């Protein structure tokens, strides 16, 4: 049985190189955003240290008002609903992306190694029934 052709090896090399660049880009972005966020937080704290700000005055006013318990519960439910809606939207987006990319991934997998197993993700992006 002959090994992979030169074009298949070149394709695998290009894919691996793209994945490497993608990882470097991702990690570089995470480090840069984290450093920027830390720097902004540090500058804010350094600038406001020891000063009475509008935020501290508002916090004192809210504490003095003693908001009713029902309002706190309603806000908690509102935040939980918003978080759930956001999570559902993220999941639907992921399923749409899988449904769009699944045929291309399957074709590339068959081209590289037709005998290799699959993750058995369905076309809609759900876990395969035998994996449950």
Same domain, 61 and 72: no
Q: How many domains does the chain contain in total?
A: 2
Same domain, 59 and 72: no
- What is the pTM (predicted TM-score) of this model? 0.40
Same domain, yes or no: 54 and 97: no
pLDDT, position 113? 75
Domain stop point among 44, 66, 88: 66
* In a shared domain, residues 72 and 61: no
Give the whole-angstrom CA distance, residue 113 versus residue 122: 20
Whether residue 1 is found in the same domain as residue 59: yes
Full DSSP string of 65-120:
H---HHHHHHHHHHHHHHHHHHHHHHHHHHHHHHHHHHHHHHHHHHHH-TTS----
Which of 66, 93, 110 is the endpoint of a domain? 66
Q: Are residues 62 and 6 in the same domain?
A: yes
Domain span holding position 16: 1-66
Domain stop point among 66, 90, 108: 66
Express each pLDDT in 56-100 by its tens digit. Answer: 776 677 677 776 778 778 878 988 999 999 999 999 998 888 888
Can you say how many angstroms the Cα of residue 113 is from the centroid of all Cα atoms in its chain?
30
Which residue did the predictor score with more confidence, 28 or 55?
28
Return the H-helix or E-strand segment holding 60. Answer: helix 54-65
pLDDT in tens, 6-20: 888 899 999 999 999
The percentage of residues in the chain with a pLDDT greater than 70, rounded to a whole number, is: 82
| Token code pair at residue 34 | 């984290």
């Amino acid at each position: 049985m002959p090994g992979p052709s030169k074009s298949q090896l070149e394709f695998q090399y290009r894919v691996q190189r793209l994945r490497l660049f993608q990882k470097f880009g991702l990690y570089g972005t995470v480090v840069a955003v984290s450093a920027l966020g830390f720097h902004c937080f540090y500058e804010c704290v350094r600038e406001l240290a020891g000063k009475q700000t509008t935020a501290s005055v508002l916090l004192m006013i809210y504490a003095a008002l003693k908001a009713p318990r029902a309002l706190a519960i309603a806000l908690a439910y509102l935040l939980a609903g918003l978080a759930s809606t956001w999570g559902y939207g993220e999941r639907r987006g992921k399923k749409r992306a899988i449904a769009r990319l699944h045929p291309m991934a399957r074709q590339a997998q068959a081209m590289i190694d037709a005998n290799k197993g699959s993750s058995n993700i369905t076309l809609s992006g759900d876990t395969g029934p035998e994996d449950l």
